[in-house]
Amino acid sequence: MAATIYDVAKKAGVGIGTVSRAINNSPQINPSTKDRILGVARELNYQPHALAQSLARKKTFTIASVVPFFTNYFFIELLRSVQHALSRSNYDLILYSVDRMDRSDTTLERVLSERRSDGVLIISIGLNDAYAGKFIAANIPVVLIDHMHFQIDSIAIANREGAYSATEHLIALGHQRIGMIDGHLSSYPAILRLEGFKKAMLEHNLVFDDRHLIICDAQAGEHGFNEVAGYLAMKRLIAQNDILPTALFVASDVQALGVMRAAKEAGVRIPEDIALVGFDDIEFAKFVGLTTMRQPIAMMGQMAVERLLERIHGDQQGDFHHKLKAELIVRETCGSRKGFHVQAES
């Protein structure tokens, strides 16, 4: 069995309180006894038991992340950055997955009741007022990523503005007949991106054909933000239109990948026949040359962690609703209008 604090105390001939002070380097201890105790501890290979510490301190040094597992590479890249940001602290990360968006409640309930964590990161999941209230009542700091709630800290992308920019890029390229493929409108970002798209069209006096808008089906609460949904949407677009749009704004990169696959199958060339702009800039967008709106994913993860940690430490008060701007990354799927917006890329 592993050594406990009592073993160390006995062997060092001191009380357990003193050992505790030694290992937590409290100032209330004589440096020489401290050294001696640390020596004994090393000898015994003593390691404090994290759980016991948590119980006594009422602090777990763990943060929870609630993630829709794993429908979209966006989450993964976010998680990576969260983990990265966290690795500089000594907090552990515990993962709560929600497998169906429409059943996120049970997961949230679990996070709340287990009390394993000092703070929670909720990714791409809407928090209703009831749960927001519960977290506030339980005094557990929460940061929402890619979603909003008026009472809860959040960090999200400016979706409407991003969609606007994407569409505007297409318009600037001379396109007039522009379509859009969106996620299901049960998703908040999907709504906003559609709004941004429509706004851009309107402000540039372009009419937009309803048949050129395809909303992906939601499945298992997934909002259609996946490759297959994009593929299917593109097939539908091609099937139901005699004249295709000359340009397409797709609400996410994974969907755009599906669009490209369907286009290829149908002999529709990109960008020659249809120009394409995505959204997210997941890692693979670069590999396939997809023009897209870059979400600063890594930045979002890092900021969220920093904010959460601050909240945990009680440093910060006041609301925090950060909105990051998406940035247009021009690659090849809109034709070689390189230099239209110069971007440094590694």
Partner DNA sequence: CCAATTATTGGAAGCGCTTCCCGAATAGCC
Partner DNA sequence: GGCTATTCGGGAAGCGCTTCCAATAATTGG
Q: What angle do the packed helices 16-23 and 5-12 form, to 10 degrees?
A: 110
Stretch touching its own copies by CB under 8 A, among 87-95, 146-154, 189-197, 337-345: 87-95
Residues in the chain: 346
Which residue, 66 or 163, has its beta carbon nearer to its own copies? 66
Residue 23 within binding range of DNA, rule CB under 7 A? yes
Residue 136 within binding range of its own copies, rule CB under 8 A? no
Q: Which of 20, 65, 72, 159 binds DNA (CB under 7 A)?
A: 20
Q: Which of 96, 164, 208, 249 binds its own copies (CB under 8 A)?
A: 96
> Residues 125-154 vs DNA: string with x where CB under 7 A?
------------------------------
- Cβ-contact 107, 116 below 8 angstroms: no
Amino acid type, 333? T
Q: Which of 4, 54, 219, 241 binds its own copies (CB under 8 A)?
A: 54
Distance CA 304, CA 142 (A): 9
Residue 257 within binding range of its own copies, rule CB under 8 A? yes
Nearest approach, Cβ of residue 312 and DNA (Å): 15
Which residue, 92 or 195, has its beta carbon nearer to DNA? 92
Helix (H) / strand (E) element for 318: namely: none
| # of chain residues touching its own copies (CB under 8 A) | 41
Q: Cis ω on the peptide bond leading into residue 287 (within 30° of 0)?
A: no
φ, ψ dihedrals at 273, nearest 5°:
-90, -40
Nearest approach, Cβ of residue 110 and its own copies (Å): 8
Q: Where are the beta strands (DSSP E) in 99-252?
A: 119-123, 142-145, 153-157, 178-182, 213-215, 247-250
Pairing of strands 119-123, 178-182: unpaired
- Cβ-contact 60, 94 below 8 angstroms: no
Q: Which residue is it, tokens 């917006």? A: 341
Nearest approach, Cβ of residue 23 and DNA (Å): 6
Contact residues: its own copies, CB under 8 A: 2, 47-52, 54-55, 60, 62, 69-70, 76, 79-80, 83-84, 87, 92-97, 99, 112-116, 138, 227, 257-258, 260-261, 283-284, 287-288
